[in-house]
Structure 1
Amino acid sequence: MIQVSGRPFQPDDSWKADTTETTIIEALQKTPNLYSFSSEKELMFEIKSRKNIIVSAKEMDNGESSFATFRTARCNPEYWQLTTAGGFLLRRQVSPADATRDIFTNSAQYKFECATACVINFYHGLLKTMGASSFNTLFPNLYLYSWHTDDDLGLYSFFANHYVPGDVVYFNNPDVNPSTSWFRGVNAIAIGDNEFFGHGFSIRTSEKMIEGLNTKRKPDSQQSAYLSGLITRPSFQSLSRFSGGRTIHKTRPFLVHHNKTSVSYRQYLYELSYKPKY
């Protein structure tokens, strides 16, 4: 259910939502949770951001970037420094917006795993929504590695039996073959109509995603892969309140190089809690 300024939201004739935006609004309305917004502007920011995350996922799917483990990750050295851990560190004097766009415009130069892909799509979708000036101010020190993000992205996760297009869901493969451990799961962006984009898996239905993971199980496995209830998303409302042009005090978020491909955000937080931070 959507609530704006304390009242149930019903779009009127002034709302000119396209098909994707309408799907997002309907999904928010149908969830058992209350989505409360202080204004229609705040609501529109979330709808536009979710739409742009979906657009970004489709652009990545149509591009030439490929799936890779951290050991074989690659990036364009003009914009990013490839770290020994397989992360992409923004080069000095490079615009965060330009570097983020380059992942899509020069996609053939990039290789990364599915958690990193989701983070890239979150950033790219927000860049489309906010514009370069606000994006550069809010995210000046990008480092792309697994689920590591700038604190102002406000990433959080929870378990639920529903999702909204633009969310990241996790397909878990508990009986993955150890020889191909990177198929332990797939972080995938919900596109809508039971379609999901998982980097390395392209856009598939949930059934096809599970079918693909099931081919990567142990030979004697009796446990199918499945769509878990884990949902991960940015804090859209906090992001919507950011006003470009003001100075922001940035803190350095904790980081752990866990070297485990295709982990969920919840697993990343576990690694962050129990391993040395850098």
Structure 2
Amino acid sequence: MIVLPESSFSVNAAVQMLPPLEREIYERKQSSPNAFHYPSLAALRFELKVRAAIVEAAVQLQRSDAEFESFKESRCSDVYWTRTEGGGFRQRPGVHASEAIRDIYVNGKDYAFECATAVIIVLYKAVLETIGDEAFDRLFRFLFLMSWHHDSLLHLITVYGKGEAYPGDIQYVKNPQVDPKKIEWQGENIVKLAGNRYFGHGVGIGDVDMFIKKLNRHRLPGSTVSAYLLDEATYPNFFALLDAVGSGRPPSFLPPLFMQSPGQIVSRIGTRTAIYL
């Protein structure tokens, strides 16, 4: 359920005005047995907007010509990025972060990267389209794209043991008996879309079974353990983002998390937070 300080009348009026996907997310969270605490209606609305933008950014990346490749074979436009020795992309001096991220979608044929890098690109694109070019360029500078590397302002949160996920969450399908000769198929990072659909860079858009079947084709001969969806969900710290946009600068501290319930175990390491339910 969603817990807000505003009156039920104000909340109901705001919900009626939500676009379809944002309303779907709201209704699914509202019917959850887990409690989601928000400091204001504005904070809830911001999360819903970013989540919807994550879904759209994932669909757009699928429609671009960007390809799946390992770090060894990755490529990028040298107009906006410098490819590092390890296969990452470092934003070039003198270009705006908004332009560099948007170019991946406009000139996808110039880019190739693996699935973890893809989900970080999706998150950046979603934030960009939510807060606008000026705010994005002020808050995000000198981006570096490689696997799960991300700007500290995103501060990714991973919830374990929740048994649920919402559009805009990042999940992982693990392939425990992957063929070592095809190690790039050890798993797939996927973005949850509306309904029961997901996006996975290099595989496409479909339900979880589609990704499981794809990964199962790359197991060791005689393998008996199928690929499976992990019970975890990752998303940005929406509160930190909203605080930064409102203040005009990255927060000097990490605001508290939205979902705080008795019995949770929370740990923070660098720019990642883990919550165990």
TM > 0.5 between the two?
yes
Q: Deviations over 1:12-60 (max 9, x none)?
A: 2673222211211122212222211122111111000000010000001
Distance 1:207 1:18 in 2: 29
**Whole-angstrom CA distance in 1 between matches of 2:247 and 2:138:** 8
How far the C-alpha of 1:5 sits from its partner, in A, is 1.6
Partner of 2:87 in structure 1? 86
User: Which amino acid counterpart does residue 199 of structure 1 have in structure 2?
Assistant: H
C-alpha RMSD over aligned residues: 2.3
Question: Which residue of the partner structure matches residue 110 of structure 2?
Answer: 109
The whole-number CA distance in structure 1 between the counterparts of 2:185 and 2:177 is 10
- Structure 2: how far apart are the matches of 1:31 and 1:81? 44
Aligned to 2:59: 58
1:11, CA displacement in angstroms? Answer: 2.6
The reply on whether 1:225 has 2:227 as its aligned counterpart is: yes
Moved more, 9-18 or 217-226: 9-18
Stretch moving more, 132-141 or 176-185: 132-141
Aligned 8 A contact 2:69 2:112 in 1: yes
Q: How much has 1:7 moved relative to structure 2?
A: 6.2
Is residue 2:199 matched to residue 1:197? yes
Which residue of structure 2 aligns with residue 255 of structure 1? none
Alignment of 1:49-198 (within 5 A): 49-159=50-160, 160-198=162-200
| The 10-residue stretch of structure 1 (102-111 or 27-36) with the greater mean CA deviation from structure 2 | 27-36
Q: Which 5+ residue runs of structure 1 have no aligned equivalent? A: 251-268, 273-278
Q: Is the 8 A contact 2:115 2:189 kept in 1?
A: yes
**Alpha-carbon distance, 1:61 to partner:** 0.7
Instruction: After superposition, give the CA deviation of every residue in 1:170-226 in whole Å (9 maximum; x if it has no partner).
Output: 000000111110110000000021110000111010111111111111111000000
Which of 241, 244, 247 aligns to 1:242? It is 244
d(CA) in 2 for partners of 1:220, 1:133? 54
Give the direction of change, closer, same or farther, for the CA distance of 1:92–1:150 in structure 2 (3 Å limit). same
Q: 1:228 is aligned with what amino acid?
A: L
Query: What is the DSSP-based 3-state SS (H/G/I as helix, E as strand, rest coil) of the residue aligned with 1:153?
Result: coil
In the TM superposition, what is the alpha-carbon distance from 1:249 to its structure 2 partner? 8.1
2: CA distance, partners of 1:7 / 1:34: 17
Identity of aligned residues (%): 34
Q: Is the 8 A contact 2:157 2:235 kept in 1?
A: yes
Name stretches of at least 5 consecutive residues in structure 2 with no aligned partner.
253-267, 272-277
Alignment: residue pair count: 255
Q: Which residue does the alignment assign to 1:266?
A: none
Structure 1 residue runs of 4 or more that deviate by more than 4 Å after TM superposition: 6-10, 247-250
Alpha-carbon distance, 1:158 to partner: 2.1
Deviation at 1:245, TM superposition (A): 7.2
Q: CA distance change for structure 1 residues 56 and 247 in 2, over 3 Å: closer, same or farther?
A: closer
Q: TM-score w.r.t. structure 1 length?
A: 0.86
**Conserved 8 A contact 2:15-2:23:** no
Note if contact 1:137-1:245 (Cα within 8 Å) is conserved in structure 2: no
What does residue 208 of structure 2 align with? Answer: 206
Mapped to 2, the partners of 1:31 and 1:7 lie a distance apart of 20
In the other structure, the counterpart of 2:257 is none
Do 1:137 and 1:248's aligned partners in 2 also have CA atoms closer than 8 Å? no
Q: Residue 245 and residue 234 in structure 1: after superposition, are their counterparts in 2 closer, same or farther (change >3 A)?
A: closer
Residue range with higher mean Cα deviation, 24-33 or 101-110: 24-33
Q: TM-score, normalised by structure 2?
A: 0.86
Counterpart for residue 2 of structure 2:
2
Change (3 A) 1:13 1:72: closer
Q: How far apart, in 1, do the equivalents of 2:62 and 2:179 lie?
A: 26
Q: Work out the CA distance in 2 between the residues paired with 1:150 and 1:144.
A: 9
**CA–CA distance in 1 between the matches of 2:14 and 2:126?**
27
